[in-house]
Structure 1
Amino acid sequence: MGELYAPSREKNNGAFSARDIISVAGMRYASRESSNSTDDYMRTYNVMRVGDIAFEGHTSNEFAFGRFVENDLGDGIISHVFVVLRPLPGRRYDLAFWKEAIHDEFLMKRILARSTKRSTMMHEIVVPDFLKEVVAVPSLSEQQKIGQFFSTLDSLIAAAERQEALLRQKKQAYLQLMFPQEGETQPRLRSNGFSGDWEQRQLGEVAEVVIGQSPEGRYSSDNQNGVALAQGNTDIADGVFVPRVWTSRPTKVVPAGTLLVSVRAPVGDVAVTPVPACIGRGFAGIPGNSFLRYSLERLKTSGHWNRVSSGSVLDAITSKELLQTPISIATNQEEQCIGKFFTRLDHLIGIVGRHAETLRTMKRAYSQRMFI
């Protein structure tokens, strides 16, 4: 590494302002004025030029010892808490190759395990130890081919992620348009052939709400003829309850297909359980069709749950508030039309999301085969 990089001690001499601050975590310009944007304070920042790498010491499941991030964005400045290393002059680098290689956990984990030390909240890079580490470097032409390959893959991943985000935004917009707003009796967007006011009811009048109860002990990570335990939002993934813990001594049990609504922070998330589930105090169980499911989802996007929740430590929805939740009811035909529309939209979001995850999995697999 010492034949490739050297510590950079270039400080901001006043040429860069707060608008040039780079977020190392996201490798993007922070695009905000710093509260400490005085000229003197800006001079404490380190200059980070294109091709420089900075060490970010926060650990995660993905990065056990922190990570290096390469600047492929543009010249700027970063906080003095980050160590900056600069490519040695005269060396020929492919920017795209090193962006991937220096950030790759498969390649860098062993190196960082030997060249970092644990501090109070994160890992710190020991620069002399890091510069002694050895890494295999291909020819420039091979660097360019590998770099182009990963750049193309990154573009495909970004495109899929943008498409998924756009579909989710559209869903949120349709939830507000296809259900009546607060104080209104008709939705602002309707399918052809439907008209007239919707009936205003309370949730407790249209469905039998089952309030969760703390389950008894004897949990297991394996299903040994037990019942799936639903306790909170961490048990939800993309609108579906994912069983992870089981109990042989269930209390409140709801059948498969029941809607689960989280009643403790964060409140208002909705999921469907594919199996019978024992619901804890973090959930309420509500039997209902897809129309009721999306009616409840709309209450989350409109901020209703946040307005009615309360709690000294964690926000929670009381059983009274839940039962009195306002629900607008349409004709059976219109409800079926709306439920089918959002079900298909969720299906499309799922397809795009799985495509993005497949590409991310491919990238991880290729990185393990294309770096030494």
Structure 2
Amino acid sequence: MEKKKKPEIRFEGFTDDWEQRKLKDVYGSIGNAFVGTATPYYVEHGHFYLESNNIKDGKINHNSEIFINDEFYEKQKEKWLHTGDIVMVQSGHVGHAAVIPEELDNTAAHALIMFKNPKEKIEPYFLNYEYQTDKAKKKIENITTGNTIKHILASDMQEFEVDVPKCKEQKVIASYFCKFDHLITLHQRKYKKLKNVKKSMLEKMFPSKGCKVPEIRFSGFTDDWEQRKLKDILVNLQNNTLSRADLLNEAGVAKNVHYGDVLIKFGEVLDINKETLPMISDESVLMKYKASFLQNGDVIVADTAEDSTVGKCSEIDGLLDEVVLSGLHTIPYRPIEKFASGYLGYYLNSSVYHNQLIPLMQGIKVTSISKSAMQDTDIVYPKSVEEQGKIGDYFRSLDHLITLYQRELEKLKNIKKTLLEKMF
């Protein structure tokens, strides 16, 4: 006897119970796309070849594209995908699925599970959203094999059970989530656009090598910028070497800035009052590093990373009367002369400056840069502290906008996740 139930949240006008069905009773064909070596048939321009890399989070992306020649494409004719078919990743990030849109009708695919020839009226986008629920993900996980590389079988998916209402209700639910996804996509585009604007402006608002003024500049400023060696502008402070295990999450005698947080968590400007920092508990550390208590305007450089992000830094801001120390694998610097808040943080993280560090980096798996190597790098800055301030304020405002869109995007994704659990 079929199990029946209803979701927690439902559109008005629908009251019938949902039915639990096996996918083999819904689709006439559930099987694998071509499995084997296809690389001999790859061409620079040809037929788009759909692979698992193109299927993520319920959508088809074109982040990477493979093309196949006419001969191989025609050989796959019996397995061509058509509008409305569903494909699912069977190796790697298993369970991720997508619906074939109109523009990909007659597409050949590689190593995907294909759901074709429905036996009854079914809304494919409804099933695609059901696969995104935690319940469906757990069920797929239960039939997944393999340790290093996860794998699911088409035969197991034939027995996979889904909860389905009448087709009319499926279409309403699918339409709702499609509109929700569109809203998320709009925010993602805006967020990405702002990130690209920032990246571009970090290149154009600081002079490139050999230039005395930047490509883009605030009106009213015409003087050439200064160029000095880092050793003539910044003095090195002492960092502590306490490991994560030596630090506390609760109250202590001083806050500690760890290199990992500089690399991943913090931005160009670190507002001490807006970030949670690990604490140092040992009071003897305070005496040892008393001359290195950080101040607003100091810059902390991460001197170790697993890639070329080594050299990323954060400028200290918002510090009141707290004791803050620079931690393991960091180089803390203090400007000898007065700089406007934010200028050094954004300049030292720009590609204009960071490109100087790339040839100085050492190591293969773990990359590092030394204080001595950084000493002779060039720092370029406007003489006017007012101009420095305008640059810092501009990037701060841009970061604020980026953060707002990032939060809104996360909020929308969380709402979608909640609704997926309550509407299925």
Q: Under a length normalisation based on structure 1, what TM-score does the superposition of the two structures give?
A: 0.82
In the TM superposition, residue 291 of structure 1 has moved relative to its aligned partner by 0.8
**What is residue 349 of structure 2 aligned with on the other side?**
297
Gaps of 5+ in 2: 1-22, 55-59
Among 243, 247, 255, which residue is 2:294 paired with?
Answer: 255
Which residue number in structure 1 is paired with residue 414 of structure 2?
Answer: 361
Matched, 1:58 2:86: no
- Asked whether the 8 Å contact 1:254–1:285 carries over to 2, the reply is no
Q: Does 2:31 align with 1:4?
A: no
* CA shift digits 1:136-188 (9 cap, x unpaired): 10221211111111111111111111111111111122122211111111112
**How much does 1:364 deviate?**
0.9
Q: What SS does the corresponding residue of 2:256 show, helix, strand or coil?
A: strand
Tell me the percent identity. 19
Cα distance in 2 for residues equivalent to 1:194 and 1:333: 10
8 Å CA contact retained: 1:161, 1:356: yes
Partner residue, 1:22: 50
Residue in structure 2 matched with residue 63 of structure 1 by the alignment: none
Match 2:311 to one of 268, 277, 296:
268
CA–CA separation in structure 1 for the residues paired with 2:375 and 2:141: 54
SS of match in other structure, 1:136: strand
Please tell me whether residue 160 in structure 1 is matched to residue 183 in structure 2. Answer: no
After superposing the two structures, state which structure 1 stretch, 24-33 or 163-172, moved more: 24-33
Contact 2:203 2:350 survives alignment (8 Å): yes
What is the aligned length? 359
Q: Residue 114 of structure 1: CA displacement? A: 3.0
Partner of 1:62: none
Matching residue within 166, 169, 185 for 1:142: 169
Identify which of structures 1 and 2 has the higher relative contact order when contacts are C-alpha pairs closer than 8 Å and 6+ apart: 2
Distance 1:21 1:217, change over 3 A: closer
What displacement does 1:278 show? Answer: 4.4
Please give the secondary structure, in 1, of the residue aligned with 2:172.
helix
* One of 126, 146, 149 as aligned partner of 1:97: 126
Counterpart amino acid of 1:114? N
RMSD: 3.4
Which residue does the alignment assign to 1:349? 402
2:343 is matched by which residue type in structure 1? F
Structure 1 gap ranges (5+): 60-65
Matched, 1:204 2:231: yes
Out of 85-94 and 37-46, give the one that drifted further: 37-46
Rg larger in 1 or in 2? 2
Q: Deviations over 1:294-316 (max 9, x none)?
A: 11121467633223322244322
Code of the aligned partner of 2:406: G
- Which residue matches 2:178? 151
Q: What secondary structure sits across from 1:110 in the alignment? A: helix
CA distance, structure 1, for counterparts of residue 62 and residue 400 of structure 2: 35
**Alpha carbons of 1:286 and 1:138: their partners in 2 closer, same or farther (altered >3 Å)?**
farther
Partner amino acid for 1:286?
A: Y
After TM superposition, the structure 1 stretch with the greater mean CA deviation from structure 2, 298-307 or 49-58, is 298-307
Structure 1 CA distance for aligned equivalents of residues 128 and 65 of structure 2: 25
What residue number does 1:311 align with? 363
| Bigger Cα displacement from structure 2, 45-54 vs 142-151 | 45-54
Give the distance between the partners of 2:302 and 2:156, measured in 1 at CA: 49
Alignment partner of 1:329 is 2:352:
no
